[in-house]
Structure 1
Amino acid sequence: MRIIIPMAGMGKRMRPHTLTVPKPLIPIAGKPIVQRLVEDIAKVCHEPIEEVAFIIGHFGEEVENDLREIATKIGAKGTIVYQEEALGTAHAIMCAKESLDGKVVVAFADTLFKADFKLDTNSDGTIWVQRVEDPRAFGVVKLNESGEITDFVEKPQEFVSDMAIIGIYYFRDGAYLRSELQYLLDNNIMDKGEYQLTNALENMKNKGTRFIPAVISEWLDCGNKNATVYTNQRYLEYIKDEQGLVASSAKLVNSVVIQPVYIGENVVIENSVVGPHASIGNNSSLTNSIVSNSIVQENTSIKNGNITNSMLGNFVSYERSPSDLSLGDFNTLLE
């Protein structure tokens, strides 16, 4: 089994946090988004993951090493490939065409999920979906009486289905997917100026490929600051019974921790209240502060703060008390 993760986008909706760090490496409950994604996909697969191919821009050697390490942690080889131009989802996946072989999961890296199923690897293909109240903003799938997918419909204004495609796909035959994507590129088949995966899915379906849905129990977006903070909250609820969410090297002095929280290595918390739903990154410090429902990244200092529904990046120095923030890396705010 292989996992293909397109993640070359600029993450503009997450600025300023993505000016120095690619969006998929922003932490959720102490782990990068893309690491959470890879680990959660591995949990629902019956088979070991032999390779994870990350499709990226030129993010630098440190980021590439971090991504390879994420693959290593699940016992897989990490492969780095580059997407030089943003030409659509089909084009992005084809940047990793050497990895499109055998059983493949394609997962776009701004989506996390909670699933209670095991992936049916005997199916031709599986599209992961969630039921939504208003499907007009999503691509959806339509099913027949046997539960197989008959149509892919983009943002239907009239109701055809409430099963929204979340951006994760399984293919039993990666080489077949590769040939269908190559057909789009060779024949310049584009939709709104881009090569789209859904066009390949439609062609495969018309040739007899049987796609089925896999319904997840919760779909978590990491597209902007508020959504990412909410995803951090939900993840902390999922994993609140796990060991090690508060590092043994963390130092708490005259402080209160309201679970669930994540507190990283060498964090110092003095005269403060942390939680619920706060993640505090390695080597950060809090003094005379209240931090809840927020993500604080590494090497950040907070003094006299009352912070909620917020994201603070790495190497931030903060000494004010607004209640709703979005601060990027290396910022300093003084009262």
Structure 2
Amino acid sequence: MKIIIPMAGRGTRLRPHTLTVPKPLIPIAGKPIVHRLVEDIVKVCGQKVTEIAFIIGADFGEAVEKQLLQIADSVGAKGAICYQTEKLGTAHALLCAKDYFNGNVVVAFADTLFKADFTLDSNAEAIIWTQKVEDPSAFGVVKIDGNGYITDFVEKPKTFVSDLAIIGIYYFKDGAVLRDEMQYLIDNDIKDRGEYQITDALENMKSKGVKFQPGQVSEWLDCGNKDATVHTNQRYLEYIQDQQLVDESAKIVNSVIIPPVYIGQNVEIHNSVLGPHVSIGGNSKVLNTVIKNSIVQDASEIVDANMANSMIGSHVSYKGKAADASIGDYNQLKE
């Protein structure tokens, strides 16, 4: 099994946090979004994942590439870095990793996380993972026939056709079939709204007899903006609260911790109340502060604050504020 993860986008809706870090590397409960995604896919695959190809921007840098290769290694797979130099649509992005489209392949866009209670059926020709949504008009959706197969892909329907939204994770028994259909789009300059789209390739596959099955997840979690990311952090802390979430090196003095809370390496907490649903990154300090339902990244210092529903970057100095805040890396805010 191979996993292909396109993640070259800059995540503009999550600024200022993505000005210095690619969105898939923003931490959720102590691990980058893309790391959580990889672990969750591996859990449902039902077979060994041998390779993971990450499609990134050429300007992401050596440190990001090294981190991604370490993520692949952590699940026993070989990592590969592929570069996307132009933003010409989802099909074009995936073809930047065309050498990895053979055999069993999972494609997962790195801006979504999920929880699922099934094992992937690798004998299926193709699976598109979905989730029921209240407002289908904001998503691509699928229609299903009486035999449980997908009959139509509809992008952002103006009238109701289905409430099963495509979450951006796909399985293909033979990845080469998808690769060839995406290449056909580019060779024949077939675009939708000015870009080469994976949905057009899927339509071509379906018209040639490929049977698509829906794989419905139990929960679909978004990291598109600050509020959504804080909510996803909350849900992940609830999922993993039976794990050891407070690092042994953390120094907690005269403070109250209301679980679930993640506290990273060498964190210092003094005279404070944390939780529930708080993640504190490594080497951060929290003094005389109340924090709930928030993310604080690495090497930041929070003093005399009362904080909720907030997202604080790395190397931030934040003092004396009561707020719902979103502060990027290397900033200072004092009352």
User: C-alpha deviations, 1:91-117, integer Å up to 9, x for none?
Assistant: 000000011111000000010001011
Q: How far apart in 1 are the matches of 2:31 and 2:220?
A: 18
Q: Which amino acid is the alignment partner of residue 44 of structure 1?
A: V
Partner of 1:49: 49
Q: Which amino acid is the alignment partner of residue 210 of structure 2?
A: T
Q: CA offset at residue 158 of structure 1?
A: 1.4
Q: Which amino acid is the alignment partner of residue 240 of structure 1?
A: Q
- Asked whether 1:283 is paired with 2:288, we answer no
- Asked whether 1:252 is paired with 2:252, we answer yes
Q: CA offset at residue 320 of structure 1?
A: 2.4
Partner of 1:71: 72
User: C-alpha deviations, 1:202-241, integer Å up to 9, x for none?
Assistant: 0000000000000101100000000000000000011111
Partner of 1:150: 151
Partner of 1:185: 186
Q: Which amino acid is the alignment partner of residue 310 of structure 1?
A: S
Aligned-partner SS, 2:181: helix
Q: CA offset at residue 86 of structure 1?
A: 0.6
Partner of 1:119: 120
Judge conservation of contact 2:52–2:72 (CA < 8 Å) in 1. Answer: yes
Judge conservation of contact 2:321–2:334 (CA < 8 Å) in 1. Answer: no
Q: CA offset at residue 160 of structure 1?
A: 1.1
Q: Which amino acid is the alignment partner of residue 21 of structure 1?
A: V
Aligned-partner SS, 1:212: strand
Q: Which amino acid is the alignment partner of residue 301 of structure 1?
A: E
- Asked whether 1:216 is paired with 2:196, we answer no
Please list every run of 5 or more consecutive structure 2 residues that lacks an aligned counterpart in the other structure.
none
Q: How far apart in 2 are the matches of 1:48 and 1:285?
A: 40
Q: Which amino acid is the alignment partner of residue 81 of structure 2?
A: I
Which aligned segments of 4 or more residues in structure 1 are displaced greater than 3 angstroms?
none
Partner of 1:305: 305
Partner of 2:135: 134
Aligned-partner SS, 2:49: coil
Q: Which amino acid is the alignment partner of residue 189 of structure 1?
A: I
Partner of 1:105: 106
- Paired residues for 1:27-38 under 5 Å: 27-38=27-38
Judge conservation of contact 2:7–2:54 (CA < 8 Å) in 1. Answer: yes
Q: Which amino acid is the alignment partner of residue 142 of structure 1?
A: K
Partner of 2:331: 331
Q: How far apart in 2 are the matches of 1:11 and 1:66?
A: 18
User: C-alpha deviations, 1:280-333, integer Å up to 9, x for none?
Assistant: 000000000011100000000000011110000000001021321010000011
Q: Which amino acid is the alignment partner of residue 46 of structure 1?
A: G
Q: Which amino acid is the alignment partner of residue 48 of structure 1?
A: K
Q: CA offset at residue 159 of structure 1?
A: 1.3
Partner of 2:229: 228
Aligned-partner SS, 2:298: coil
Q: How far apart in 2 are the matches of 1:107 and 1:198?
A: 14
Q: CA offset at residue 17 of structure 1?
A: 0.4
Q: How far apart in 1 are the matches of 2:158 and 2:119?
A: 33
TM-score w.r.t. length of structure 2: 0.99
Q: How far apart in 2 are the matches of 1:329 and 1:71?
A: 26
Q: Which amino acid is the alignment partner of residue 326 of structure 1?
A: S
Q: Which amino acid is the alignment partner of residue 63 of structure 2?
A: E
Q: Which amino acid is the alignment partner of residue 230 of structure 2?
A: V
Q: How far apart in 2 are the matches of 1:85 and 1:320?
A: 44
Please list every run of 5 or more consecutive structure 1 residues that lacks an aligned counterpart in the other structure.
none
Q: How far apart in 2 are the matches of 1:199 and 1:320?
A: 53
Partner of 1:294: 294
Q: How far apart in 2 are the matches of 1:223 and 1:5?
A: 17
Q: How far apart in 1 are the matches of 2:23 and 2:320?
A: 26
Q: How far apart in 2 are the matches of 1:261 and 1:56?
A: 31
Q: How far apart in 1 are the matches of 2:263 and 2:31?
A: 12
TM-score w.r.t. length of structure 1: 0.99
Q: How far apart in 1 are the matches of 2:265 and 2:131?
A: 36
Partner of 2:13: 13
Q: How far apart in 1 are the matches of 2:103 and 2:36?
A: 24
Judge conservation of contact 2:284–2:298 (CA < 8 Å) in 1. Answer: yes
Aligned-partner SS, 2:18: coil
Query: What's the Cα RMSD here?
Result: 0.6
Q: How far apart in 1 are the matches of 2:321 and 2:121?
A: 50
